[in-house]
Structure 1
Amino acid sequence: MISTVLGWVWVGSGVLLILSVLLHSPKGDGMGGLAASGGSMFTSARSAEQTLNRITWTLLAIFLGLAVILSAGWLS
């Protein structure tokens, strides 16, 4: 049962990781500029980029950690 729950968490973290990578802007606004119309919860674009970087790295660590745990078969 725990491996099933962790499997779903792994899939969810993968989807969120894909979305967070797509929100990054290489040079211009990118897709992140779509949500920046009007008020912003960040004080600057640099703050928003740093927050997005932290979220992306955290999701990557969760995704890779669960991939190792689930593929090693330590839970069965």
Structure 2
Amino acid sequence: MTVLSLLQIFWVISATSLIILIMLHSPKGDGIGAIGGQAQLFTSTKSAEVTLNRITWTLTLIFMGITVILSAGWVG
């Protein structure tokens, strides 16, 4: 296996993981429910949500970094 193949595998894994993690996030706004006064003004973030945010941001940086490396052709 070459370095290029490994980067492509990590790229696909990070992209798939990002999709799954983003789907796990709770919605921040209530959409149309906010019009009727049903929205909460102050919400507390739970530790699970904070951890999910950190993992999502880390995977985002990994995905974007690998994307730049692969698109620039730095790896033969």
Report the TM-score when normalising by structure 2.
0.75
Over the aligned positions, Cα root-mean-square deviation in angstroms equals: 1.5
Match of 1:75 in 2: 75
Does 1:15 find its partner at 2:10? Answer: no
Which runs of no fewer than 5 residues in structure 1 stay unpaired? 29-44
Whole-angstrom CA distance in 2 between matches of 1:14 and 1:47:
24
Does 1:62 find its partner at 2:62? Answer: yes
Larger Rg: 2
Cα distance per residue 1:15-53 (max 9 Å; x no partner): 00000000000159xxxxxxxxxxxxxxxx610000000
Structure 1 or 2: more helix by fraction: 1
Match of 1:3 in 2: 4
Structure possessing the higher relative contact order (Cα contacts under 8 Å, 6 or more residues apart): 2
Whole-angstrom CA distance in 2 between matches of 1:65 and 1:19:
19
Which runs of no fewer than 5 residues in structure 2 stay unpaired? 30-44
Does 1:25 find its partner at 2:30? Answer: no
Whole-angstrom CA distance in 2 between matches of 1:23 and 1:52:
8
Query: How many percent of aligned residue pairs carry the same amino acid?
Result: 57
